[in-house]
Amino acid sequence: MRRALIAGNWKMNGSREANRELLDGIKAGIGEVSGSDLAVCPPFVYIPEVAEQLAGTPVKWGAQNVSHESSGAFTGEVAPAMVREFGCVYVIIGHSERRTLYGETDEEVAKKFVAARAAGLTPIVCVGETLEEREQDVTEDVVGRQMDAVIAAEGAAALAGAVIAYEPVWAIGTGRTATPEQAQAVHAFIRQRVAAKDANVAEGLQILYGGSMKPENAAELMAKPDIDGGLIGGASLKADQFLAIAKAAN
C-alpha cells in the first residue's frame, strides 16, 4: 500500500510574514492529518527560515528546482547539495513551467534527476502534456518520452524512492482539473511504463496528480488506484485548503 504525499509548490509566491502565517496554520492543523505525508517547496531564499519553522514537525520541505552541476561558475544556479544542507528532502524537477518558460529539455531534466539523487534528495519529477498535445491524442507519446528520458538516465531502479507528478499542463493554474478518469488513465500508463522495466519499483512508485487540485476534487482524484497524492500549486498557499486536501487522503 503506497502512502499518499501532498506536496505544496509555492512557486514564486510568499513573503517572510506570509510564509510564517501559512506554516503556523499548517502546524496547527497537522494533528488531524493521518493518511498522508506533507511537504512544502518554497522559493530558495525562504528555505532556511522554513526549515527552522518546520523542524520537529512531520512536515518536510523541498526546493522547486536545482542545477545539475555540483559547484562552480554557474551564476544564479543552486546546487542540490546546497538545498540538502538546509534539510530539503524533496526537489521538484522538470515542472512544466521550467520546461516551457526556461526551455528545460528531457535531457536536462534527466541530468537534474541524477544530480538530485546523488545529493540525497528525493526528486519529484513532473511530466505532462499540453492541451494541444491532448487534443492531438499524443498524451501517451509525450508522457512516455518524458518518462523514458528519466528511466534511461540510471535505469528504472533509480526510480525507487523517487516521486512522479503527472501534471497536465492545461490543468495548471487554470481551474480546469483533469477528471479522475483522465488522470487515472495517465497514472496507470506511467506505472506501466516503469513496470515494463521493473515491476517492484513500479508498484512502490508514488505518482502524484497536479493541476488545480483543491479540497473539492482531491478525494475523488485520490480514490483512484494509481493516484497517490498531489502536487498542489495555488491551494497550497492557504493552510485550510492545503490541510483539507491532505485530509482527503485520510
- Using CB under 6 A, pick the residue from 212, 227, 229, 244 that binds ligand G3H: 212
- Using CB under 6 A, pick the residue from 4, 5, 6, 9 that binds ligand G3H: 9
213 is an interface residue for ligand G3H by CB under 6 A: yes
Q: Kindly state the smallest distance separating residue 233's Cβ from ligand G3H, in Å.
A: 2
**If binding means CB under 6 A, how many residues of this protein chain bind ligand G3H?**
14
80 vs 233, which CB is nearer to ligand G3H? 233
98 vs 111, which CB is nearer to ligand G3H? 98
What does 116-180 look like in DSSP terms, one character per residue?
Answer: HHHTT-EEEEEE---HHHHHTT-HHHHHHHHHHHHHHHH-GGGGTT-EEEE--GGGTTSS-PPPH
Please list, residue by residue across 226-238, b when 16 or more beta carbons sit within 10 angstroms of its beta carbon and e when fewer do.
bbbbbbbbbbbbb
201 vs 222, which CB is nearer to ligand G3H? 222
202 is an interface residue for ligand G3H by CB under 6 A: no
217 is an interface residue for ligand G3H by CB under 6 A: no
23 is an interface residue for ligand G3H by CB under 6 A: no
* Annotation says 167 is catalytic: yes
Instruction: For residue 8, say whether it is annotated as part of any ligand binding site.
Output: no
Gap between the Cα atoms of 54 and 31, Å rounded:
14
Which one is catalytic: 68, 129, 167, 187? 167
159 is an interface residue for ligand G3H by CB under 6 A: no
Residues that bind ligand G3H (CB under 6 A): 9, 95, 167, 172-173, 210-213, 231-235
